[in-house]
Amino acid sequence: MNNSELLFLYDAQLANPNGDPDDENRPRMDYQSRRNLVSDVRLKRYIRDYLQDAGHELYVAQPRQGEVVTADKRLQTVLGGKKPTVKDLPEILDQLMDIRLFGATMPIKGEGGGAGSSIQVTGPVQFTWGYSLNHVDLVNSYTISSRFSSQDEKNQGTFGKDYRVYYSLLTFAGVVSGKRAEISRLTESDLAWLDQALVEAIPLQTTRSKIGQFPRLYMRVEYVDDRTVLGDWRELLDLDEKENLRSTADVRLRVDRLVARITEARARIAAVHLWQHPDFRVWYGAESVRLADVIDSAAAGLVVPVETGLKAGSQ
């Protein structure tokens, strides 16, 4: 499998993209730069939940109601009830897509392994933490109440805080390692599911604090080999105005340097797997454009539209 690098943008309007449990669940922020932050774990959770809903077997899955699942029990279930050993690793990888994608540490005994031994598979797909391209303003907290009492002897309900951002244009970078893909048994079909999950998962996993979030742009640059890495594609995006953004309509995102990088590296790129929300435009020169049109003009034949509509259970 070839290396790929990923670029993913989504936005959040009057939502809490990733609450910090150590800070009253406020949106994660770099207050010095006024950037909104989202962890890679939060993004992987969206992907895993989407894949599980689509019928795929996962290692880190949402348990059924009332079910308590340990790592060892999960692997035993996959193996039909038997204790996992190192010889079972290929079968485990073939059955559990999230390990093929993201890797895992599993309680699997080796040939002479004793109690507590484990095996680690480093996932070929890794994401950075996401950050906002714009300077983000937080909504003043509102107190929310519950009709339920916090203790049996109390009659009044409980109160909490509701923290949100006005608008955040969030962007992630990621990589797919071709060499690690061989070890984890990652397939091209798995990558197609990853592409689809990134463009569909977030609106389908909406909760009260996450409503108002939509994917806007996804690009997976697939290289011609398993050695090429060109770097963080986010650094090639330029936002004209970073202050006081309140909706997608306020965004003027320039892709001139990104298109130039693709043109310069044309010989090292096998394909650009691309999806763009129909309501999201980017700017190239003085024009508002579809990114696929500009790339096709600069480097014809590279753009491959991201496939959607994959059926549940297909591998």
Question: What does pTM read for this prediction?
Answer: 0.91
| pLDDT tier for residue 62 given thresholds of 50, 70 and 90 | confident
DSSP 61-125: -PPPTT----HHHHHHHHTTTSPPBGGGHHHHHHH-HHHHHHEEEE--B-TT--TT--EEEE-SE
User: What is the mean predicted confidence (pLDDT) over 7-28?
Assistant: 95
Residue 208 lies in a domain: yes
Residue 298 lies in a domain: yes
pLDDT surpassing 80 at residue 158: no
What is the token pair recorded at 239? 């936002």
pLDDT surpassing 50 at residue 232: yes
CA dist 132 and 289 (Å) reads 22
Residue 292 lies in a domain: yes
Q: What percent of the chain has pLDDT over 90?
A: 78
The residue that leads in pLDDT, 298 or 70, is: 298
When mean pLDDT is compared across 117-121, 215-219, 230-234, the lowest value belongs to 117-121
Residue 315 lies in a domain: no
Residue 249 lies in a domain: yes
Q: What is the average pLDDT score of the chain? A: 91
Task: Provide the terminal-to-terminal Cα distance of the chain, rounded to the nearest Å.
Answer: 16
pLDDT surpassing 90 at residue 148: no
Q: How many domains does the chain have?
A: 1
| pLDDT tier for residue 16 given thresholds of 50, 70 and 90 | very high
pLDDT surpassing 50 at residue 315: no
Residue 314 lies in a domain: no
Residue 45 lies in a domain: yes
Are the C-beta atoms of residues 199 and 40 closer than 8 Å to each other? no
Residue span of the structural domain in which 252 resides: 4-305
| pLDDT tier for residue 175 given thresholds of 50, 70 and 90 | very high
Cβ neighbours of 83 (radius 10 Å): 12
Alpha carbon of residue 279 to chain centroid: 21
- pLDDT value at position 206? 85
When mean pLDDT is compared across 65-79, 179-193, 287-301, the lowest value belongs to 65-79
Residue 264 lies in a domain: yes
